[in-house]
């Protein structure tokens, strides 16, 4: 009799494991899903809409992209952090609201490490150090030498105060004594207009924003900020190769949910978004935007976020940068 009971218990336990696995596989929304993009008119928006359009067909529910810009991405990220952890609100997150702002802002309304649950780091790219072609330099070393020989003459543009393009140049200022003056803009487009016109002389920008200008000879490319050379420009050295050890400053985009979202929901979104990112048509569009696909696990993305918070935190503290 006892043997029979033990077998019955084992059977029930096995059944529970199978049911648990099936539950993770079978979770699906029963109403529309929102994907919050905390910025307007950016690669974050393009990627969010690209993934949303594919998710709709997979999940069988509308997936609506909503732009909630403001406060360097904090408004949209805070909205998601304070949403119900039920799988119906996701965030397209990037450097600013997920890594930089934790140190840059004095009073954050949420903690990106504890109040958001990573799903996957979708894509990443280095930044390019570009200069106006009229500047008589061909390398990072020549740029630093020119700036030191002409004190107060070198200015650089950024997409915003506290952005990666701002802080990356401040990294170079700190490491080299470059002495460049910051000119913040509201987005990449106006910064690039002035850079091409020669109103500012240098900038760190993501490849997708400047590649065409480089091809047309309207900007000069000196270096990239990845750990290795970027596939699109294998002839261009990294900042590490240019003599600045550990000079890594990538731009990236990932998907997150509110903290406390059940693991079966996180796993379902991870599985489907990773699958979408590896679809041939999606990969081509991402290549056209000069992004490399990462598509990793929630644990890997979480570890990356912690690393990035520390990396940008050191830069912000060293340079005294504050939110604009």
**pLDDT tens column, 266-310:** 999 999 999 999 999 999 999 888 899 999 999 999 999 999 999
CA dihedral 20, 25, 30, 32 (to 10 degrees): 130
Per-residue pLDDT, 305: 97
Q: What confidence tens digit (pLDDT) does each residue in 25-67 have?
A: 578 999 999 999 998 877 899 999 999 999 999 999 999 999 9
- Residues paired with residue 254 on neighbouring β-strands, in sequence order: 93, 121
pLDDT at 97 over 50: yes
What mean pLDDT is predicted for residues 226-230?
93
- What pLDDT shows up at residue 322? 79
pTM of the model: 0.84
Give pLDDT, residue 218: 97
Mean pLDDT score, 138-148: 97
What beta strand segments (E) does 168-239 contain?
Answer: 181-184, 202-205, 220-224
Three-point CA angle 139, 145, 150, nearest 5°: 125
Return d(Cα 312, Cα 162) in angstroms, integer: 10
């Amino acid at each position: 009799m006892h043997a029979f009971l033990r077998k019955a218990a084992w059977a029930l336990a096995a059944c529970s494991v199978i049911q648990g696995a099936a539950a993770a596989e079978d979770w699906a929304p029963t109403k529309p899903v929102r994907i919050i993009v905390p910025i307007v008119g950016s690669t974050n928006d393009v990627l969010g809409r690209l993934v949303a359009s594919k998710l709709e067909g997979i999940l069988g529910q509308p997936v609506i992209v909503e732009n909630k810009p403001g406060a360097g991405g904090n408004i949209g990220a805070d909205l998601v952090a304070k949403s119900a952890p039920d799988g119906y609100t996701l965030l397209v997150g990037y450097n600013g609201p997920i890594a930089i702002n934790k140190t840059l802002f004095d009073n954050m309304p949420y903690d990106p490490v504890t109040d958001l649950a990573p799903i996957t780091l979708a894509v990443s790219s280095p930044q390019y150090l570009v200069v106006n072609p009229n500047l008589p330099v061909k390398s990072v070393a020549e740029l630093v030498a020119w700036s030191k020989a002409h004190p107060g003459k070198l200015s650089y543009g950024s997409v915003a105060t506290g952005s990666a393009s701002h802080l990356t140049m401040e990294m170079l200022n700190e490491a080299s004594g470059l002495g460049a003056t910051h000119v913040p803009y509201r987005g990449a487009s106006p910064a690039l207009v002035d850079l091409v016109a020669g109103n500012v002389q240098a900038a760190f920008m993501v490849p997708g924003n400047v590649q065409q200008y480089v091809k047309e000879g309207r900007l000069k490319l000196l270096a990239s900020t990845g750990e290795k050379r970027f596939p699109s420009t294998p002839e261009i050295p990294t900042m590490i190769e240019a003599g600045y050890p550990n000079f890594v400053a990538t731009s990236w985009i990932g998907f997150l949910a509110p903290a406390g979202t059940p693991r079966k929901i996180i796993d379902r979104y991870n599985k489907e978004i990773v699958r979408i990112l590896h679809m041939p048509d999606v990969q081509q569009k991402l290549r056209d935007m000069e992004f490399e696909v990462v598509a990793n696990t929630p644990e890997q993305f979480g570890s990356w976020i912690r690393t990035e918070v520390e990396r940008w935190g050191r830069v912000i503290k060293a340079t005294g940068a504050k939110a604009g």
